[in-house]
Amino acid sequence: MNDTKALVDRLDVVDALYRFAAGQDLGDKELFRSAWAADAELDFVQPARRLGVDLPPFKGRDNITESIIGSVSGLTTTHTVTNPRVTIDGDRATLFALVEAQHLPKTDHSRHLLLKNFYWCDLVREAGAWKIRRMRIENAWIRGDAQVLFPAPSTGARNA
């Protein structure tokens, strides 16, 4: 592979992670969806467990998109992606990055949840674009209120 093609591929692999992050931050469902392969899997099990929630991996691009975009629709989010490390082998790639994800309720910016996470991604080239086939997220540290991301269920009780 020539040097220019290798550099473009490396940038395009990282761009899949940028689309994942920016899609959430901008509330852009199609941008977020464009990051994923049809048979994708998103494993957020370890961070969810640290936040007190048992959550299975999300499977399939449409399920991932609906679940994540739905869960952040009431939040102001900002994701910062750093330290990307890319390895490419033909039409497959791996990506490691650090991602800091800030979450604030749109109606109450006095509350927040800040996560610093390690991301491990396997990607495939589909129709000329790099797509995430598997993403595993592990949390390094947490600051803030877990209920910002995982609100306590309503008891259904009403004041009389």
Q: β-pairing, 36-43 with 129-144?
A: parallel
91 within a domain of the structure (yes/no): yes
Query: What does the pLDDT read at residue 57?
Result: 98
How many domains does the structure of the chain reveal? 1
Domain enclosing residue 126, as ranges: 3-148
15 part of a folded domain = yes
pLDDT at residue 60 in the model? 98
Residue 158 lies in a domain: no
Q: pTM for the whole thing?
A: 0.92
The structure tokens 């109450």 sit at 108
> What's the burial of 94, exposed, middle or buried (CB within 10 Å: 0-12/13-18/19+)?
middle
pLDDT score of 159: 43
CATH number at residue 44: 3.10.450.50
Domain-located, residue 65: yes
| Burial class, 98, CB count within 10 angstroms (exposed 0-12 / middle 13-18 / buried 19+) | middle
Q: Is residue 78 a part of any domain in this protein?
A: yes
Helical residues (DSSP H) of the chain, grouped into ranges: 3-26, 29-33, 45-50, 61-72
Residue 155: inside a domain, yes or no? no
pLDDT at 2 (0 to 100):
78
- Evaluate whether residue 157 is within a structural domain: no
pLDDT at 72: 96
Q: 145 by DSSP, 3-state: which?
A: coil
| Residue 156 covered by a domain | no
Measured distance CA(123)–CA(135) in Å, rounded: 9
Query: pLDDT 10s per residue in the chain (160 long)?
Result: 578 988 999 999 999 999 999 999 999 999 999 999 999 999 999 999 999 999 999 999 999 999 999 999 999 999 999 999 999 999 999 999 999 999 999 999 999 999 999 999 999 999 889 999 999 999 999 999 999 999 987 555 444 3
